[in-house]
Copies of this chain bind each other. A is one copy, B any other.
Amino acid sequence: MPTIKVESQLQYDVRQPTNMLFKIAAAQTDRQQVRNTQLTIDPEITIETLEVGLEGNTMQRVSVQPCQLTLHYEAEVDAVAQPTDPGNIPQTNVGNLPTEVLPYLNPSRYCESDLLGRFAFEEFGQMQPGLLRVQAICDWVNEHLDYTPGSTGVTTTAADVVLQRTGVCRDYAHLAIALCRGIGVPARYVSGYAAELQPPDFHGFMEAYLGDQWYFFDPTKLASVGGLVRIATGRDAADVAFATITGDAGLTSKMVSAVFL
C-alpha cells in the first residue's frame, strides 16, 4: 500500500467580497485513508467543510473579504492500489448496474457520448467487452492525441478533441469517458493528485465501472495509476474545478506537489 504525501497552496488577490469553493482535499474512501491533514488559511477565516455526494469527497467553502488570501493543504494518503493485472474484468450488463452508477452512462457537458456513440461503436464495438476494451480505448486516445498545453480551453469538449487531436489531461479523460459511455461502460471524471507527475500540478483522469467496482485509468499515461489520489468525482471536469469563484478574485500563485513516501 503506497503512501503519498500531497500538498497544494493557492494564493488569490481578492478584490471584492467573494465566495470560494475549493476541491483540493483528498477524498476519504475505502481505497484512500487520509492522515495528518493540515488545512490552513491566511488571513484566518472560517472554513466550512462540506461532504459531497456518496463518495467521501469533501469541499471547502469560504466567504472572503478583500485581502491577499493563501490556502494551504497537505495530507498523507494510504492508497489501496487497484490490482495491477486484474485480467479482463467483464463489462456489466446495464440491467445489473447499481442505480447510482446509471447516470454515468449519460452524456455530459464535455463528454458528448450521444454524439460519439457511433464512432465509439464502430471503432471498439467488435472488441471483447471488459476492462481490456476500456484499456484499448485509453490506448487509442493516448496514441491519437498530442499532449499540447494551450491547445484547448475550458469549454473544449470530447467532440472537439476527437477532431483536433490535441489536448491536455482533462481532454484525454473527457474523450476516453465519452467513448466508454458510447459502448455502454459507465465512466466518470476524477480530479486528483498524481505522484511524480511532471510538471507537478493537479491532474485529471477517469474511472470506469467494470464488474462491480470502479477502476482508475489515466489516458495520458503521464502518471502511474498506483500514484493517483482522488480529490473529487464528477460527470466531467465541470463538476470538479479545484476552485469556483463567485465575486472577484484572481489566482496569483499555485503550488501542487505529490510524492511517494
Report A75-116 residues with CB < 8 Å from chain B CB.
93-95, 99, 102-103, 106-109, 112, 114-116
Shortest 4 CB-CB distances between A and B: which pairs?
A19-B95, A118-B165, A106-B238, A107-B109
16 contacts between A and B (CB under 8 A): A19-B93, A21-B94, A51-B99, A52-B99, A61-B95, A94-B246, A103-B239, A106-B234, A108-B108, A108-B235, A109-B112, A114-B238, A115-B155, A115-B163, A115-B164, A235-B235
Contact status A163-B106, CB under 8 Å: no
- Determine the residue in chain B with the shortest Cβ distance to A19: B95
> Which of B51, B166, B235 sits near A118, CB closer than 8 Å?
B166
Q: How far is the CB of A252 from chain B (nearest CB, A)?
A: 19
Q: Does A187 contact B (CB under 8 A)?
A: no
How does the 8 Å CB contact mask read for A157-199 relative to B, with 1 for contact and 0 for none?
A: 0010011111000000000000000001000000000000000
How does the 8 Å CB contact mask read for A62-85 relative to B, with 1 for contact and 0 for none?
A: 010000000000000000000000
**B residues within 8 A CB of A165?**
118-119, 122
What secondary structure prevails in chain A residues at the interface with B?
Answer: mixed
Q: Does A59 contact B (CB under 8 A)?
A: yes
Contact status B51-A106, CB under 8 Å: no
Q: How far is the CB of A116 from chain B (nearest CB, A)?
A: 6
- Determine the residue in chain B with the shortest Cβ distance to A246: B94
**B residues within 8 A CB of A144?**
122
Contact status A106-B106, CB under 8 Å: no
**B residues within 8 A CB of A59?**
99
How does the 8 Å CB contact mask read for A38-54 relative to B, with 1 for contact and 0 for none?
A: 00000000000011100
